[in-house]
Amino acid sequence: MNSEQSSWVLLPHSTYLRDLRWYTKKRPAELTAVHHNLGRYMILLARSPAARSVQAGFLHPEPYGMVAVDQRGGAGGLQETRLYCYAHSGSRTVHLLGIGDKSSQSADLARLAPLARSLNS
C-alpha cells in the first residue's frame, strides 16, 4: 500500500470477512479485480476533500451512503461483482461491508443496509 492509500484505514466487518472466504475459494479472479479497484478508490479518497465527491466508472452509489466497487478493468469474462463499503470522512475509515454478485445485489443491499444505516448516523 502506498502513502496515498495509507491516509485512510480499511475496517473489515464480519459480513465482509465471511464473503471474502467464499470469494477466495469460489471466485478468486473477481475478488482480485474488486480489490484492485478498492486500491484505486483508496487513492481517489486520499486526493479528495470528501468521500461523497469521489466518482469513477467502477464505483456505484448505493443506499445509506454505501458505495459498491465493481470488477471492471479485470480480466475478461468475469462475473459482475460488487464489494460494498462505506467511507466515513470524519474518521477517514473505509468500512468493508460485504461482497456479492449482480444476481444477489438486492439481497446483499438488504442484508448490509442495517450496518450502513448504523454507520450513517
Confidence of residue 1 (pLDDT cuts 50, 70, 90): very low
pTM: 0.92
Mean pLDDT of the 58-78 span: 93
Instruction: Kindly report which listed range (6-10, 14-18, 62-66, 83-87) carries the lowest average pLDDT score.
Output: 6-10
Q: How many CA atoms lie within 13 A of 82 on its CB side?
A: 24
| Closest to 88 (Cα-Cα) out of 35, 51, 41, 55 | 51
Q: Band of the pLDDT at 6, cuts 50, 70, 90?
A: low
Q: For the chain, how many structural domains are there in total?
A: 1
Structural domain that includes position 84: 5-120
SS3 at position 101: strand
Tell me which residue has cell 465493481. 70
